[in-house]
């Protein structure tokens, strides 16, 4: 095998680990990351870039992890017996929703082999999550757009559902896209396979009891009324482009990671984070890199508004996490230094599609020292 004096990975050449910090502006705390091509590794990273805690869990990460108010880790792992629906299903499926303590002991576990993307653990032990169901041929025929004849290998198209289960696994509420979402205003983008409509990548419970959801393959963020299932709010592709991670802020506005793939009216790709007024649907704050095209992830991505007003941003495909002030000043930047591919992780269908060492993260979260008291007690 030929060797080179030059590092062949562009990401590593550009420096990994801590890239920079402004200690006068950065929010104090620890950043939680789950490396997607790890066998089940979750880490806490301090603002100086050092690892302060690591969990090694029995399932590779589905997407991300969070720390709950009780101090436990909420972790979503890949279900070992999930069906092989279509190749990319191996990349974003989940299904094992766990709470574990600091030592990695399982406190609770709920499984759904059809779960994917966001499995949102609520503070009371309940879980709000996305899942799939197969459509009938008649239902699939109503879905406009997408690549012609690109249904799953079994000939079926699948549609998203949202479920809410209790801490003991009892179904509390459910919502079906095919039942409550009119396909005509929500067509698949022409570059997307017809295997999965509408690719919900985040769900968030609003203070008013309704549900906020991000629908990637139709470039939409919606609010659905919990009582009726009706869509009562819709932000469309005049603002969004393949977005992720929609969440509600304390002021009622919506924070969104706007990826920028297939952005309408613009040929150059760039990502941004936007804060949108729920009342006016106008962007009231945004972060773009001063050189916009240097901040871009074509898929995945996260944004978290911190207590001091800063925003933590995950440039997911490149393992980059950074923090900016309200004024847009970069005050912390870190890049995941661990790389691996999917070999040996039970994802054979996508090994050839993603056959390179990767440091990708789906979404990172930051916590103050007070939110992780067991860490300071170690």
The three-point CA angle 90-81-124 to 5° equals 90
Residue 1, pLDDT > 60, answer no
List pLDDT tens digits, range 191-218: 999 999 999 999 999 999 999 999 999 9
Q: Which of 9-13, 114-118, 192-196 has the lowest mean pLDDT?
A: 9-13
Q: With bands split at pLDDT 50, 70 and 90, how would you rate the model's confidence at 134?
A: very high
Q: With bands split at pLDDT 50, 70 and 90, how would you rate the model's confidence at 377?
A: low
Average the pLDDT over 85-105 and give the result. Answer: 96
What residues contact 227, with CB distance under 8 A and at least 6 apart? none
Q: With bands split at pLDDT 50, 70 and 90, how would you rate the model's confidence at 349?
A: confident
308 alpha-carbon distance from chain centroid: 23
Say which DSSP state 221 is in: E
Residue 2, pLDDT > 90, answer no
Identify whether 198 is preceded by a cis peptide bond (ω within 30 of 0): yes
Which is nearest to 199 in space by CA: 184, 174, 181?
Answer: 181
Average the pLDDT over 111-116 and give the result. Answer: 98
Q: Which of 134-138, 246-250, 310-314, 348-352 has the lowest mean pLDDT?
A: 348-352
Sign of the dihedral defined by the CA atoms of residues 226, 230, 236, 241, in that order = positive
Q: With bands split at pLDDT 50, 70 and 90, how would you rate the model's confidence at 353?
A: confident
CA distance 262 to 237: 9
List pLDDT tens digits, range 255-265: 999 999 999 99
User: Given this model, what pLDDT does residue 225 score?
Assistant: 98
Report the percent of the chain where pLDDT is more than 70. 99
Residue 126, pLDDT > 60, answer yes
Average the pLDDT over 278-295 and give the result. Answer: 97
The pairing of beta strand 51-56 with beta strand 61-67: unpaired
Q: Cβ(77)–Cβ(56) under 8 Å?
A: no
What residues contact 374, with CB distance under 8 A and at least 6 apart? 71, 102
CA distance 128 to 301: 19
User: Given this model, what pLDDT does residue 49 score?
Assistant: 98
CA distance 205 to 95: 20
Q: What three-state secondary structure class fits 350?
A: helix
Q: How far apart are the first and last CA of the chain?
A: 45
Average the pLDDT over 279-284 and give the result. Answer: 98
What residues contact 344, with CB distance under 8 A and at least 6 apart? 39
Which is nearest to 28 in space by CA: 274, 312, 302?
Answer: 312
> Per-residue DSSP letters for 135-148?
PPHHHHTT--BSST
List pLDDT tens digits, range 291-344: 999 999 999 999 999 999 999 999 999 999 999 999 999 999 999 999 999 999
List pLDDT tens digits, range 156-171: 999 999 999 999 999 9
State the average pLDDT for the chain. Answer: 96
Residue 4, pLDDT > 90, answer no
Residue 378, pLDDT > 90, answer no
Q: Cβ(262)–Cβ(219) under 8 Å?
A: yes
CA distance 50 to 195: 41
């Amino acid at each position: 095998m030929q060797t080179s004096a030059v590092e062949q990975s562009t990401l590593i050449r550009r420096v990994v680990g801590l890239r920079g910090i402004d200690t006068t502006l950065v929010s104090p705390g620890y950043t939680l990351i789950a490396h997607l091509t790890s066998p089940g590794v979750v880490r806490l990273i301090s603002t100086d870039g050092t690892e302060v805690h690591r969990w090694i869990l029995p399932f590779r990460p589905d997407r991300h992890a969070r720390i709950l108010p009780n101090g436990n880790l909420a972790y979503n792992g890949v279900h070992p017996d999930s069906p092989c629906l279509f190749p990319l299903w191996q990349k974003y499926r989940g299904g094992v929703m766990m709470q574990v303590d600091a030592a990695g002991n399982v406190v609770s576990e709920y499984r759904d082999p059809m779960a994917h993307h966001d499995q949102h653990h609520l503070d009371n032990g309940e879980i709000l999550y996305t899942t799939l169901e197969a459509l009938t041929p008649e239902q699939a025929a109503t879905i406009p757009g997408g690549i012609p004849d690109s249904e799953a290998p079994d000939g079926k198209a699948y549609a998203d559902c949202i479920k809410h289960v209790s801490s003991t696994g009892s179904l509390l509420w459910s919502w079906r896209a095919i039942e409550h979402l009119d396909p005509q205003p929500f067509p698949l983008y022409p570059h997307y396979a017809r295997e999965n409509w509408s690719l919900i990548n985040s769900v968030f419970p609003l203070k008013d009891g309704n549900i906020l959801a991000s629908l990637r393959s139709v470039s939409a963020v919606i609010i659905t009324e919990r009582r009726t299932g009706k869509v009562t709010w819709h932000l469309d592709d005049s603002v969004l482009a393949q977005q992720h991670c929609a969440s509600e802020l304390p002021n009622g506005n919506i924070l969104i990671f706007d990826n920028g793939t297939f952005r309408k009216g613009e040929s150059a790709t760039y990502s941004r984070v936007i804060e949108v007024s729920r009342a006016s649907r106008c962007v009231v704050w945004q972060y773009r890199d001063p050189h916009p095209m240097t901040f871009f992830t074509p898929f995945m991505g996260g944004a978290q508004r911190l207590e001091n007003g800063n925003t933590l941003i995950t440039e997911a495909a490149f393992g980059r996490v950074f923090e900016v002030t309200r004024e847009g000043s970069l005050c912390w930047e870190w890049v995941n230094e661990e790389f691996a591919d999917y070999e040996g992780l039970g994802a054979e269908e996508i090994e050839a599609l993603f056959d390179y060492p990767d440091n990708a993260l789906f979404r990172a979260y930051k916590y103050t020292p007070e939110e992780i008291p067991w860490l300071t007690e170690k």
